Amino acid sequence: MTDNKMRAITTFVRVSWDALKAGREREAGIARRQSDRLQELVAFAREHSPYLARRYQSVPAHVTHIDQMPALTKAEMMAHFDEWITDPAVSRKKAEDFIADPNLIGHDLLDRYVVCTTSGATGTPAILLHDRRALTVYNVLGYVRSMRTVLSARQVWALLRGKGRMAAVFVTGGHYLGNTMIARRHQAMPWRAKTQRLFSALTPQDELVDELNAFSPVILGGYPSALDLLARQQLAGRLHIRPFFVSAAGETLTDEARQRISAAFGCRVSNYYGSSEAIGLTFECAAHRMHLNSDWYIVEPIDADGRPTPPGQMSDGVLITNLANRIQPIIRYQMGDRIAISPTPCPCGSPFPQISVEGRTGDVLVFPSAEGAAIRILPLPLVTVAEETPGLASCQLIQTAPSTMLVRLSVTRPQDEPAVWNALRTRLVDYLAAQGAGPVIIEKGSEGPQLHPRSGKFRQVYSEVVH
């Protein structure tokens, strides 16, 4: 065994033992770990990140409360990427060149950093780096906290009997988090390619159903909208799989969708909230309540003016601090999700805070096929297809009639708008046709992306058609 592998195993065991101890030491032990790790992260950022060192000049040497520090944005991080990163060997150009090469999916930048990019579903895409120590923490939080709350001895046997076949339905084809992590596993242990597969949410529905029937997974994961679509296919008798566990992530899982998915597959449906910036942020307990891994993350619900929201009240946004990652410190990082932290303890008895989440949402659009059948179009894959258009800064997709979609867009350079629009329209038409939708009219809006007229929130994909 190499020295690197031995160190990795030692670190995993040490972090796992600490995660178990944190739960046993209850609120006091969790709070102490959170405070100590915040001090260490801030000190490291001050020493190794030129940009954050400047931003923290007025911050006390010893941070006694997280709100003594400034909130930071994704746009700010990307604009100052080279000075934000704590390793001078990394630059934005190197990271962009890396993610521009699909052959490097599953490999590490400089052989030591995982690189992923967001889809831009909430605006500007981000480039995120994670160091290996952080990856160990994420894995521990997944195995020690998440899996042990949902897998019984009987289910472990079912997993072994099913030869460990795990399937996930997310967007593939780029350096997105799920795609990258699955590819890394396949690189490290090629045999896993036979038992762990990522299916593209961009695949036409009939093909996706056939592929899943052939693979027959015993664990199924994916976007809630994708899982809901598959549940409908299972109830209709076209999909024939028997997972004993289903995991939803990437969008808000509604109670209605959870019930339908559970009924269709006859198993538990678990929900997860996290992001490419905050992997391993939450876990779900046996009571179907979501908890924060608050020994490794600090989460601050805020209102529209950036002020803290009281416990139990749904926020307008959230500030996330990732205490594990050193290469790209995420400290009081603004995200648009709406969350509420419960003022009461969970019935499961966990000392970790209980939260509810209204994360990314988007309507499933329903277009008729040429034969009149209803074709359901998932929001996140549709957004990904649109936002991969060169020169596009942001867009909003609205179904205004059964076979009409309005597109509001903004572009990086105004002079390129005609060319960007033509390319975007072609991509959308081709994608909708590949999904089986009949001719869909794509119209260009006269204004850029707007807040939803009723909710006052920004919704990137929604329908004005009553089905």
**What pLDDT, on the 0 to 100 scale, is given for residue 393?**
82
DSSP three-state, residue 67: helix
- pLDDT category at 154 given cuts 50, 70, 90 is low
Could you tell me what percent of the chain has a pLDDT over 70? Answer: 92
DSSP three-state, residue 421: helix
Q: CA-to-CA distance for 38 and 279, rounded, in angstroms?
A: 17
pLDDT tens digits, one per residue of 428-452: 999 999 999 989 999 999 988 886 6
For 127-140, what is the mean pLDDT?
A: 95
**What pLDDT, on the 0 to 100 scale, is given for residue 412?**
84
Q: Are 205 and 435 in contact (CB under 8 A)?
A: yes
Beta bridge pairs of residue 401? 404
What's the chain's average pLDDT? 89
**What pLDDT, on the 0 to 100 scale, is given for residue 427?**
95
- pLDDT category at 158 given cuts 50, 70, 90 is low
pLDDT tens digits, one per residue of 164-201: 789 999 888 789 888 899 999 888 888 888 889 999 88
- The pair phi, psi for residue 200, each rounded to 5°, is -80, 130
DSSP three-state, residue 157: helix
For 47-69, what is the mean pLDDT?
A: 95
Confidence check: pLDDT of 148 > 70 = no
Secondary structure string (H, E, C) spanning 117-147: ECCCCCCCCCEEEEEHHHHHHHHHHHHHHHH
**What pLDDT, on the 0 to 100 scale, is given for residue 91?**
97
**What pLDDT, on the 0 to 100 scale, is given for residue 465?**
87
Confidence check: pLDDT of 9 > 60 = yes
**Which of 135, 194, 199 shows the shortest CA–CA distance to 173?**
199
| Two structure tokens written together for 380 | 């996140």
Confidence check: pLDDT of 302 > 50 = yes
pLDDT tens digits, one per residue of 30-42: 999 999 999 999 9
Q: CA-to-CA distance for 172 and 183, rounded, in angstroms?
A: 11
Q: CA-to-CA distance for 321 and 76, rounded, in angstroms?
A: 15
Summarize the chain as % helix, strand, coil (round to 5). Answer: 40, 20, 40
Q: CA-to-CA distance for 11 and 127, rounded, in angstroms?
A: 26
**What is the C-alpha radius of gyration for the chain, rounded to an integer number of angstroms?**
22
For 98-124, what is the mean pLDDT?
A: 84
Q: Is 414 exposed, middle or buried (0-12, 13-18, 19+ CB in 10 A)?
A: exposed
For 218-244, what is the mean pLDDT?
A: 92
pLDDT tens digits, one per residue of 337-394: 889 999 999 999 999 999 998 766 578 899 999 898 899 898 888 988 998 898 988 8
Confidence check: pLDDT of 63 > 70 = yes
- pLDDT category at 264 given cuts 50, 70, 90 is very high
If one compares 268 and 332, the residue with the highest pLDDT of the two is 332
Helix (H) / strand (E) element for 32: namely helix 26-48
If one compares 224 and 453, the residue with the highest pLDDT of the two is 224
- Biggest alpha carbon–alpha carbon distance for the chain: 68
- The pair phi, psi for residue 292, each rounded to 5°, is -85, 135
pLDDT tens digits, one per residue of 65-94: 999 999 999 989 999 999 999 999 999 999
Dihedral through CA 215, CA 218, CA 221, CA 227, nearest 10?
Answer: 80
- Amino acid at the residue 393: A
The C-alpha angle with vertex 68 and arms to 65 and 74, in degrees rounded to 5, equals 110
Could you tell me what percent of the chain has a pLDDT over 90? Answer: 61
- pLDDT category at 122 given cuts 50, 70, 90 is very low
Confidence check: pLDDT of 123 > 60 = no
**Which of 370, 376, 368, 452 shows the shortest CA–CA distance to 403?**
368
- pLDDT category at 152 given cuts 50, 70, 90 is low
The region of weakest confidence among 234-238, 250-254, 283-287, 440-444 is 250-254
**What pLDDT, on the 0 to 100 scale, is given for residue 39?**
96
Secondary structure string (H, E, C) spanning 81-115: HHHHCCCCCCCHHHHHHHHCCHHHCCCCECCCEEE
